[in-house]
Structure 1
């Protein structure tokens, strides 16, 4: 939960006074135009940025007062462009997701190995386990990072564009997987997505941002309409039911199509008359 949250880079405020209640055990998706502050908001929720004002709460406590290991055991964060140590293998990277569960009196166990194996299987990366991360394609790498978060098994997952670099089939696979984790384990999922129609399909709670502020929030059916799309993205669109799920589906009109629709129609015969007049 965020209360009056302001986030800034070098004195430049990017997120302005945001109040956001994340529904527990649900899927929240944050959308908005490039540069609207959605990734910055996610970084603030994940304690990667210190608030310039306001606070982020975890179970009613100011996140800044919670010990890092305690936060890591509850909250997992997948940033937009994570970096892996040079030479690390896929299995080792995914295994690092278990570090928050280790301690002075708790060493690596069969349960940890099982969690890693399950994460690799769920993300279809088990055949990559022995390969070095830098050898992988962008899409493979992204699935490995998701696997690391799954191995961590946090109660809350924060993901910044988890479908980056993935083809459409793997995008759907990853989002289906996150939806299943939410349904089966009660995992709270908060993610930033660019693709509006995927956001509308998978979100229980949709947050639309504009210029660092919350423009609207609620269920996709409540908030995603033509007016919201135009205000957030400056794009004319029609919003129709998704033929598969019934959720809102955005069909862009586009600036060129809108301009053409605004012009008076000229029939073929009229074009001929214009050309004949020009020759005269």
Structure 2
């Protein structure tokens, strides 16, 4: 589910985790005449890149302070974007507002990342804010349908793509991960807490150890959101780093769901994929 293309109010609060995507979203908003205000998460967001934008630092577990800052900046609409290492409850220092909502917080932590983000989003919405998604605020950052590289998937790769989509659909109820590697019909690895980069490093290691015997240039990384996932939160993301990992793992390309996958630094990603004879394709949802 996602919001039905709401009219976005300016400014938009960008709750920013790690990586490049919070800044890409802020730049996309600014290009459309919508003022972004970044709320970078301590310990996750890049402090040097934040300085380019209006910003107010926040911390995990400080819901009361965060809500006060959102209101001070006039941000009714909020978006979560970027990577975040999930802390344990024992590591989080709660403020009074968070303690008042502790039962909801504990329930949110008892599940995968989608469950956690959706739970925190509901708490914010109950306090008068509106959670929006990439489709609402920066649709230009989403993967288009079709192949965006010179290379195209061969028949064996297309079969691996279909197997990968089926595996991810079957795993969706368990809120485990959003990526799988399939080589010649064999499910080689599934994404877990280490993320897509770790998944591809694992495949490269298995190939180096001789545990994967298929020739280089076969197999596909398939990424897709979970069935029933709230598409405002935690969409799959690909970018140049993903392409580097796929090349190191000896795969033939990347397949993702068009319109439901974020494409970070798309031009650099395409150039790197072409240089490595890899395909990147957006599949029909």
- TM-score between the two structures when normalised by the length of structure 2: 0.31
* The structure with more strand, counted as a fraction of residues: 1
The structure, 1 or 2, with the larger RCO (C-alpha pairs under 8 Å, 6+ apart) is 1
- TM-score between the two structures when normalised by the length of structure 1: 0.32
